[in-house]
Amino acid sequence: MGQTIGRAPLLAPVKHFVNLPKASVYDLWDGFNDISEGFGLTCDEFLEILRCCLKDYLNYSEKKLDNIGKAVFIIYDDDQNDLVDALEFLSSFAILSGMVPEE
Protein backbone atom coordinates (compact mmCIF):
# COMPACT_ATOMS: atom_id res chain seq x y z
CA MET A 1 0.00 0.00 0.00
CA GLY A 2 1.20 3.45 -0.82
CA GLN A 3 4.13 2.24 -2.90
CA THR A 4 4.32 4.23 -6.11
CA ILE A 5 7.31 2.69 -7.85
CA GLY A 6 6.73 -0.99 -7.18
CA ARG A 7 10.02 -1.94 -5.58
CA ALA A 8 11.59 -1.27 -2.25
CA PRO A 9 14.92 0.55 -2.21
CA LEU A 10 17.96 -1.37 -0.99
CA LEU A 11 20.23 0.12 1.61
CA ALA A 12 23.69 0.94 0.25
CA PRO A 13 25.69 -1.78 2.06
CA VAL A 14 23.36 -4.52 0.85
CA LYS A 15 23.77 -3.50 -2.82
CA HIS A 16 27.22 -5.13 -2.85
CA PHE A 17 25.55 -8.53 -2.50
CA VAL A 18 22.91 -8.25 -5.23
CA ASN A 19 23.00 -10.69 -8.16
CA LEU A 20 25.59 -13.04 -6.73
CA PRO A 21 26.08 -16.17 -8.83
CA LYS A 22 24.23 -19.22 -7.58
CA ALA A 23 27.58 -20.88 -6.82
CA SER A 24 28.50 -18.03 -4.47
CA VAL A 25 25.24 -18.37 -2.57
CA TYR A 26 25.89 -22.11 -2.21
CA ASP A 27 29.41 -21.25 -1.01
CA LEU A 28 27.83 -19.05 1.68
CA TRP A 29 25.73 -22.04 2.79
CA ASP A 30 28.84 -24.24 2.94
CA GLY A 31 30.72 -21.52 4.81
CA PHE A 32 27.89 -21.24 7.30
CA ASN A 33 28.00 -25.00 7.91
CA ASP A 34 31.79 -24.91 8.38
CA ILE A 35 32.03 -21.82 10.59
CA SER A 36 28.85 -21.41 12.59
CA GLU A 37 28.07 -23.21 15.82
CA GLY A 38 24.33 -22.54 15.63
CA PHE A 39 21.70 -20.62 13.72
CA GLY A 40 22.53 -17.35 15.46
CA LEU A 41 25.61 -15.82 13.83
CA THR A 42 27.88 -13.47 15.73
CA CYS A 43 29.44 -10.57 13.84
CA ASP A 44 32.78 -12.39 13.73
CA GLU A 45 31.18 -15.53 12.27
CA PHE A 46 29.21 -13.45 9.76
CA LEU A 47 32.37 -11.64 8.61
CA GLU A 48 34.35 -14.88 8.40
CA ILE A 49 31.67 -16.42 6.17
CA LEU A 50 31.74 -13.38 3.88
CA ARG A 51 35.55 -13.38 3.79
CA CYS A 52 35.97 -17.05 2.95
CA CYS A 53 33.14 -17.15 0.40
CA LEU A 54 32.96 -13.78 -1.33
CA LYS A 55 36.31 -11.99 -1.01
CA ASP A 56 37.73 -13.39 -4.24
CA TYR A 57 34.47 -13.10 -6.20
CA LEU A 58 33.89 -9.47 -5.20
CA ASN A 59 37.60 -8.68 -5.48
CA TYR A 60 37.46 -6.57 -2.32
CA SER A 61 40.19 -6.16 0.24
CA GLU A 62 39.54 -7.84 3.57
CA LYS A 63 39.20 -4.41 5.21
CA LYS A 64 36.62 -3.21 2.67
CA LEU A 65 34.62 -6.43 2.90
CA ASP A 66 34.71 -6.28 6.72
CA ASN A 67 33.43 -2.68 6.72
CA ILE A 68 30.58 -3.54 4.36
CA GLY A 69 29.88 -6.76 6.26
CA LYS A 70 29.66 -4.92 9.59
CA ALA A 71 27.16 -2.46 8.10
CA VAL A 72 25.06 -5.34 6.75
CA PHE A 73 25.26 -7.15 10.10
CA ILE A 74 23.84 -4.07 11.85
CA ILE A 75 20.96 -4.00 9.36
CA TYR A 76 20.14 -7.67 10.01
CA ASP A 77 20.55 -7.32 13.80
CA ASP A 78 17.37 -5.28 14.22
CA ASP A 79 16.79 -6.45 17.81
CA GLN A 80 20.39 -5.50 18.71
CA ASN A 81 21.23 -8.77 20.47
CA ASP A 82 24.53 -9.13 18.54
CA LEU A 83 23.22 -12.14 16.62
CA VAL A 84 21.89 -12.53 13.09
CA ASP A 85 19.62 -15.39 12.08
CA ALA A 86 21.63 -17.43 9.59
CA LEU A 87 18.63 -18.63 7.61
CA GLU A 88 17.34 -15.07 7.17
CA PHE A 89 20.79 -13.94 6.02
CA LEU A 90 21.21 -16.83 3.57
CA SER A 91 17.68 -16.70 2.20
CA SER A 92 17.79 -12.94 1.69
CA PHE A 93 21.11 -13.18 -0.17
CA ALA A 94 19.57 -15.92 -2.34
CA ILE A 95 16.52 -13.76 -3.07
CA LEU A 96 18.69 -10.73 -3.86
CA SER A 97 20.58 -12.96 -6.29
CA GLY A 98 17.44 -13.96 -8.16
CA MET A 99 17.27 -17.55 -6.98
CA VAL A 100 13.87 -19.19 -6.91
CA PRO A 101 12.54 -20.98 -3.79
CA GLU A 102 13.30 -24.42 -5.23
CA GLU A 103 17.00 -23.54 -5.40
Name the residue range of residue 18's domain.
14-96
In the chain, the number of structural domains is 1
For the stretch 19-49, pLDDT in tens is 899 999 999 999 999 998 888 999 999 999 9
Please check whether residue 21 lies inside any domain of the structure.
yes
Task: List the alpha helices (DSSP H) in the chain.
Answer: 22-35, 43-58, 62-76, 86-96
Evaluate whether residue 102 is within a structural domain. Answer: no
| Structural domain includes residue 46 | yes
| Entry pTM | 0.85
CA angle, 83 then 28 then 20, to 5°:
115
Instruction: Give the pLDDT confidence score for residue 2 in this predicted structure.
Output: 55
Q: Quick check: is 41 in a domain?
A: yes
| Mean pLDDT computed over every residue of the chain | 88
Is 5 inside any structural domain?
no
